[in-house]
Amino acid sequence: MIIIKSPREINLMKEAGRVVGKVFDQLKEKIRPGISTLDIANWCEEIIRNEGAYPTFLNYSGYPGAVCVSVNDEIVHGIPSKKRILRDGDIVSVDVGATLHGYVGDACRTFPVGICKEETLRLIKITEDSFFEGMKYMKPGNRLGDVSHAIQEYCEKNGYGIVREYTGHGVGSHLHEDPYIPNYGTRGSGPLLKEGMCLAVEPMVTQGTFKIRVLSDGWTAKTKDGKLSCHYENSIVITKDGFEILTKAEGPIVVVTDEAEQLAKTKETN
């Protein structure tokens, strides 16, 4: 059953979403070579708790981290570790859940670490854009399959794969509610979209095959071919004539897509 949220609940969802946005806002300055994936998780947890919220993923189905941190060919659910040190040219996906006043905000960003290849930055850009391609169809009267189809088509047109085993989901007082939201599908299929639905849409995009394998830790999902994977997610609410993003960052998260430009920027700040 898909729960329609009341205006009061939507306000609470915005509060929870704001915490998640704030995490990314503060995190983007800190991502650099030499830090560990546990450093990232600890920073996220501190920001979440300082806002009076709780890191939703911690102990969820036994998940051991405060947030998920997935590097390079890791698609989702990477477990934060002090031994996993980020290096120049890596990409790192940080998936953050925050529960505040009983409601959940859930979102993910993928950050470049140091100087990345242009083809790596392109993967990040296309993944992010695929979310917004899907969002063009996110309004009352359309069907969920319209959104799923748009995401798939955009990624595949750009030469990338779409992961099948993990999907987006409804979000509310629980992290995972109906419906599940595949990033692939058929136009005109699936549930009808209605005002007040809160949904987490999260394309997981691969440079090579979309086939995955899960590590023996029981959580970390990787690409089968070892090629890069990228993840982008927001929680949204469907409005009268479109949608609103609940997990907004306060400032823009700008991914510089040009290698030379990126190098110049790094020199400026050093």
Residues that bind ligand MF3 (CB under 6 A): 57, 60-61, 63, 68, 77, 95, 106, 108, 169, 200, 233
Stretch that binds Co ion, among 10-18, 122-130, 196-204, 257-265 (CB under 5 A): 196-204
- Least separation in angstroms between CB 65 and ligand MF3: 7
**Which residue, 68 or 116, has its beta carbon nearer to ligand MF3?**
68
Measured CA to CA, the distance from residue 98 to residue 101 in angstroms comes to: 10
Residues of span 98-117 touching Co ion by CB under 5 A: 106
**Which residue, 122 or 231, has its beta carbon nearer to ligand MF3?**
231
Q: If contact means CB under 5 to 8 A according to the sort of partner, which of Co ion, ligand MF3, none does residue 77 touch? A: ligand MF3
The DSSP string of 32-67 is -TT-BHHHHHHHHHHHHHHTT-EETTTTGGG--SSS
Contact 33, 113 (CB under 8 A): yes
- Least separation in angstroms between CB 171 and ligand MF3: 8
The interaxial angle of helices 118-135 and 259-269, nearest 10 deg, is: 100
CA angle 87, 89, 93 (to 5 degrees): 80
**Which residue, 47 or 108, has its beta carbon nearer to Co ion?**
108
Q: Are β-strands 198-201 and 54-55 bridged in parallel, bridged antiparallel, or unpaired? A: unpaired
Contact 206, 161 (CB under 8 A): yes
Measured CA to CA, the distance from residue 75 to residue 88 in angstroms comes to: 19
By CB under 5 A, the count of residues binding Co ion is 2
Measured CA to CA, the distance from residue 50 to residue 54 in angstroms comes to: 9
Any contact of residue 16 with Co ion (CB under 5 A)? no
- Least separation in angstroms between CB 184 and Co ion: 16
Q: If contact means CB under 5 to 8 A according to the sort of partner, which of Co ion, ligand MF3, none does residue 177 touch? A: none
- Least separation in angstroms between CB 158 and ligand MF3: 23
**Which residue, 138 or 204, has its beta carbon nearer to ligand MF3?**
204
Measured CA to CA, the distance from residue 162 to residue 152 in angstroms comes to: 7
Residues of span 198-227 touching Co ion by CB under 5 A: 200
Comparing every residue's Cβ against ligand MF3, the nearest one is 63
Please report, in angstroms and rounded to a whole number, the separation of the first and last CA atoms in the chain: 52
Helices then strands, each counted (H, E), the chain: 5, 15
Q: Which two tokens stand for residue 26?
A: 């503060």
Alpha helices in 115-239 (DSSP H): 118-135, 144-157
- Least separation in angstroms between CB 255 and ligand MF3: 20
Stretch that binds Co ion, among 64-72, 158-166, 197-205, 250-258 (CB under 5 A): 197-205
**Which residue, 57 or 116, has its beta carbon nearer to ligand MF3?**
57
- Least separation in angstroms between CB 150 and ligand MF3: 20
**Which residue, 176 or 187, has its beta carbon nearer to ligand MF3?**
176
Task: List contacts with Co ion (CB under 5 A).
Answer: 106, 200
